Amino acid sequence: MANLREMVEILRSAGEFTRLRLLALLSEGELSVKDLTEILDQSQPRVSRHLRLLTESGLITRHAEGAWAFFRLSDELESSALVQHILGRLDLEDELLVTDRQRLAAVRRDHQARATTFFAKVAKDWDRLRTLHAPDEAVEASIQQLLAGAHFDMFLDLGTGTGRMLELLADQFTKGIGLDASREMISVARTKFEKSGQKNVQVRLGDIGDLSEYRDSADFVMLHQVLHHFDDPGLALQNARLSLKPGGAIMVVDFMPHKLEFLREEQAHRRLGLSHVQMQAWARSARLEVMQSREIPHPGPDDGLTVCIWHLTDNSKN
The least distance separating ligand SAM from the CB of residue 13, rounded to whole angstroms, comes to: 33
Q: If binding is defined by CB under 6 A, does position 209 make contact with ligand SAM? A: yes
Interacting residue with ligand SAM among 160, 217, 243, 278 (CB under 6 A): 160
- Select from 108, 133, 224, 311 the one that contacts ligand SAM (CB under 6 A): 224
Dihedral (Cα; 127, 130, 132, 138), 10-degree rounding? -100
Q: How far is the CB of 85 from ligand SAM (least distance, A)?
A: 32
- Choosing from 130, 175, 264, 294, the residue that interacts with ligand SAM (CB under 6 A) is 130
Minimum gap (Å) between residue 29 Cβ and ligand SAM? 13
If binding is defined by CB under 6 A, does position 104 make contact with ligand SAM? no
CB of 60 or CB of 143, closer to ligand SAM: 143
Residues 6+ apart with CB under 8 A from 89: none
Number of other CB atoms surrounding residue 110 within 10 Å: 12
Least separation, in Å, of the C-beta of 54 and ligand SAM?
Answer: 28
Q: Does residue 142 interact with ligand SAM by CB under 6 A? A: no
Distance separating alpha carbons of residues 281 and 234, to the nearest angstrom: 8
261 binds ligand SAM (CB under 6 A): no
167 binds ligand SAM (CB under 6 A): no
254 in Cβ contact with 273 (< 8 Å) = yes
Nearest Cα residue to 270 out of 233, 230, 217, 300? 230
Percent of residues in the chain assigned helix, strand, coil, to nearest 5 = 50, 20, 30
Give residue 164's identity as a one-letter amino acid code.
Answer: R
Cβ atoms of 139 and 131 within 8 Å: the answer is no
CB 18 within 8 A of CB 53: no
Enumerate the β-bridge partners of residue 68: 65
- What gap in Å lies between CA 138 and CA 195, rounded to an integer? 27
In the bound complex, which residue of the shown chain has the CB atom lying closest to ligand SAM? Answer: 161
User: Applying CB under 6 A, which of residues 65, 167, 180, 231 lies at the interface with ligand SAM?
Assistant: 180
Residue 226 Cβ vs ligand SAM, minimum distance, rounded to whole Å: 5
- Determine, following the binding rule CB under 6 A, whether residue 229 of this chain makes contact with ligand SAM: yes
Q: Does 263 bind ligand SAM (CB under 6 A)?
A: no
Query: Does residue number 307 form part of the binding site for ligand SAM (CB under 6 A)?
Result: no
* Segment interacting with ligand SAM (CB under 6 A) among 46-54, 61-69, 140-148, 155-163: 155-163
The β-bridge partners of 179 are 158, 204
Q: Is 234 in the site for ligand SAM (CB under 6 A)?
A: no
The answer to whether residue 159 forms part of the interface with ligand SAM (CB under 6 A) is yes
Distance from the Cα of residue 116 to its chain's centroid: 16
| Size of site (CB under 6 A) for ligand SAM | 21
Please give the Cα distance from 150 to 292 (Å, whole number). Answer: 15
The Cα–Cα gap between 281 and 274 comes to 11
Residues sharing a CB contact under 8 Å with residue 139, sequence separation 6 or more, in sequence order: 253, 296, 307, 309
- 282 in contact with ligand SAM (CB under 6 A): no
Instruction: Determine the interface stretch with ligand SAM among 10-18, 206-214, 243-251, 299-307 (rule: CB under 6 A).
Output: 206-214
- Find the binder of ligand SAM among 10, 166, 208, 296 (CB under 6 A): 208
Q: How far apart are CA 234 and CA 298, in angstroms?
A: 25
Binding-site ranges for ligand SAM (CB under 6 A): 112, 115, 119, 130, 159-161, 164-165, 179-182, 185, 207-209, 224-226, 229
